[in-house]
Structure 1
Amino acid sequence: MYKEAMEAPEVVARQIENNRAIMQTLGREFQANDPYSLVTVARGSSDHAAQYLNYLAGLLLGKLSTSLSLSLITIYQKAINVERSLAVAISQSGESPDLIEPMKSFKEKAHSSVALVNAVDSPLARVVKWVVPLQAGEEKSVAATKSFIASLTASASLIASMGKLRELQNGLLELPENMKKAQDLDWSKAISKFSKAKRIMVVGRGLGLPLALEAALKFKETCSIQAEAFSSAEIKHGPQTLIQKGYPLLIFANRGPGLADLLVFAKEMRARKAQVVLVAPKEVREKDLIFPETDHPELDVICAIQAFYLMVEELSQELGHNPDRPKNLSKVTRTK
């Protein structure tokens, strides 16, 4: 896991360079035939990347983008009207039937279909119109790291191409160097804070919510800690009743319009004597860990998950687990 996480900057650089032509083609395609909306198809970590894509589509393109409830097709066998939607599947292996079946049905019905996939010869790749290779290479650890990051950057590249967003494209070019800087951040304080935790709430908002979802999953997979991700707004609709003295919280407060509310939330939780670890921009005095920044604010979360992966891998080792081979899990998951 550590080795593969450290390879992520190289993966991103390779992806941006090698996918230049396909992204230009997709940009022309979607500018000429503008889809009304997007629908994403994914599971697990890939669905967290899909949530990131959904936010980018809304923020930067002004388009509705939603994650498909896969059981509507695979279990309930319902026909979904996607004729004005771009269908985007995200997967490392491209082998899960509950991704293949919807995308196969969408190939003829949807406005268009794209797979962001690491295995370009997979069954998923064969049932879509366009294939965007993640370029992550072989990933041996069960816990996805570089393939997840590659899914995020492919999502950002797709949105940048669709909208001719030059600033985002330039930010992506600088991202590998930003990621290397994130690898050097000292997040060891989180290890000492969470080494005895049995449960953790991971909190984010907006673009930070997909980051929180992925971090919570990795706490479960690699550390056997019952971690749950919430929007800071959703916590106030019930979950906050659990937060008492000593309750562990990891709060991702990325720069942007949600930052102020997240800082207020962190202050409120500290007033309850909760064990708060606040990840925030370097200029925030009350931060515990630095939230890395990039040349484009919508890319900051990619560097943050890079730093988190290195921390959680070390925490897993300290707790006596094997982060590469979590109990009861396999690298390729096939569900329906």
Structure 2
Amino acid sequence: MSTTQTQMRREIEEIPTAVDRLLSTSAGAIETAISKIGNDVPFLMSVARGSSDHACAFLKYACELELGLPMASVGPSVASIYGAKLRVPNAVCISVSQSGKSPDIVELTRAITEGGATSVAITNDATSPLANTATATLPICAGPELSVAATKTFVTSLVAGLWLLAEFKQDQELVKAIRALPEHLEKAIACDWTVAANAITGQSVLTLGRGPSFAISNEAALKFKETCQIHAESYSSAEVMHGPVSIVERGFPVIGFAASDAAEDSLIEVADALTEKGALAFVTSKKAKKAICLPHQRTDHWLTDPISTIVSFYTMVEKVSTARNINPDAPRHLNKVTETV
């Protein structure tokens, strides 16, 4: 195993600085985007793929819980392959792409905008085709991300989208918590999940979440596949006992992502139940009675807790990857930018 620090690890360590840069430079972009959104928004939509789609899943929960407005994910092929014309007057579309170059994301954003929606591009390239197509752009200010596995661009996309929703609602408590994130994320990087990393010795793992943390569970499962070549599946803790639990055997690793929200107790109950069935279950909560508590950094708001948790996970999954002699910066079969039609 190489002792050279990976690019992925360096970029994980850059996350607090990247978030601080976003918060320091993008207030004007947030204000401009809000000024273009109407007062009578019927619903929101999201356009994304991969890690960016997991960011949108997080924003879906945040939108529905914060604004009381439904948010739906629209399949990019609706426009790029099928050429459908969408009628979405007064809606808001959030399109997330770190490169802003994928033709299908750009084409669907164009179709939705032409259909009457206000589109907001969340991207790391303010000059990209996506930025030039959308009504408004929120640059995530992550700086160059060279590792194939997205880390700091995922986190800054979460922060940018959540910040937009918080300012739109004028939720000053949430805005304050978002502005305090860099310090919490520094501490999240230092959380040691070695006990979980050592338990992941096979080729399968389950990740669990509920509510906003379900999006984090989805991202974690993807990262296991991308960087470790491990078959990981993500489930809502409300669903895992309905069928997937059948694959659990003694020592089977499970990671539950919990936040200090209304779903925490129900997720812990499931993690404890899986432990009783033989699983080696880990959770980011001190409330567990049987599952193993992972060190975690809670933040100043339950909607920002999941952002801290994924940062701690990233530090662990990078270690799992290198322990398997896999280079997380250049996973097999993958490119940094995937331009899907």
TM-score, scaled relative to structure 1: 0.96
> Which residue of the partner structure matches residue 4 of structure 1?
11
Residue 173 (structure 1) aligned with residue 173 (structure 2): no
Distance, in Å, in 1 between the alignment partners of 2:254 and 2:110 is: 41
- Cα distance between partner residues in 1 of 2:54 and 2:152: 14
Partner of 1:84: 90
Question: 1:263 is matched by which residue type in structure 2?
Answer: I
How far did residue 297 of structure 1 move? 1.1
The answer to whether the Cα contact below 8 Å between 1:57 and 1:63 also exists between their aligned partners in 2 is yes
Per-residue CA deviation, residues 231-281 of structure 1 (Å, 9 max, x unaligned), is: 01122332122222232211112221111111110111111111212221x
Cα separation, 2, equivalents of 1:36 and 1:111: 10
Across the aligned residues of Structure 1 and Structure 2, the Cα RMSD in angstroms comes to 1.4
Which string of whole-angstrom CA distances, capped at 9 and with x for unpartnered residues, describes residues 141-168 of structure 1? 0000100000000011110121111111
Gaps of 5+ in 1: none
Partners of 2:40 and 2:168 in 1: CA distance: 9
Q: Residues 26 and 161 of structure 1 are in contact (CA less than 8 Å); yes or no, is this contact kept in structure 2?
A: no
1:151-300 equivalence runs, <5 A: 151-194=157-200, 196-280=201-285, 282=286, 284=288, 286=290, 287-300=292-305
Report the number of matched residues.
Answer: 333
Aligned residue for 1:250, secondary structure, equals strand
For 2:287 and 2:113, how far apart are their aligned partners in 1? 48
Distance across 2 between alignment mates of 1:144 and 1:93: 11
- Runs of 4 or more consecutive aligned structure 1 residues displaced over 6 Å after TM superposition: none
Alignment partner, residue 150 of structure 2: 144
In the alignment, which residue of structure 2 is the partner of 1:110?
116
Q: How many percent of aligned residue pairs carry the same amino acid?
A: 38
User: Does the residue aligned with 1:124 lie in a helix, a strand or coil?
Assistant: helix
The answer for the alignment partner of 1:23 in structure 2 is: 30
Say if 1:182 and 1:292, in contact at 8 Å, map to a contact too.
Answer: yes
Q: TM-score, normalised by structure 2?
A: 0.94
Alignment pair present for 1:127 and 2:129: no
Q: Secondary structure at the match of 1:116?
A: strand
How far apart are the structure 2 equivalents of 1:107 and 1:9? Answer: 33
Q: Distance in 1 between matches of 2:85 and 2:35?
A: 29
CA deviation map 1:22-57 (0-9, x unaligned): 212333443x53311110000000000000111110
1:304-324: CA deviation from partner (whole Å, max 9, x where unpaired): 111111111111111110011
Read off the aligned partner of 2:114 and give its amino acid letter.
E
Does the aligned pair in 1 maintain the 2:33–2:137 contact within 8 Å?
A: no
Report how far residue 74 of structure 1 moved. 2.2
The residue identity in structure 2 corresponding to 1:276 is A
Which stretch has the larger CA shift, 224-233 or 251-260? 251-260
Task: Tell me the SS of whatever aligns to 2:129.
Answer: coil
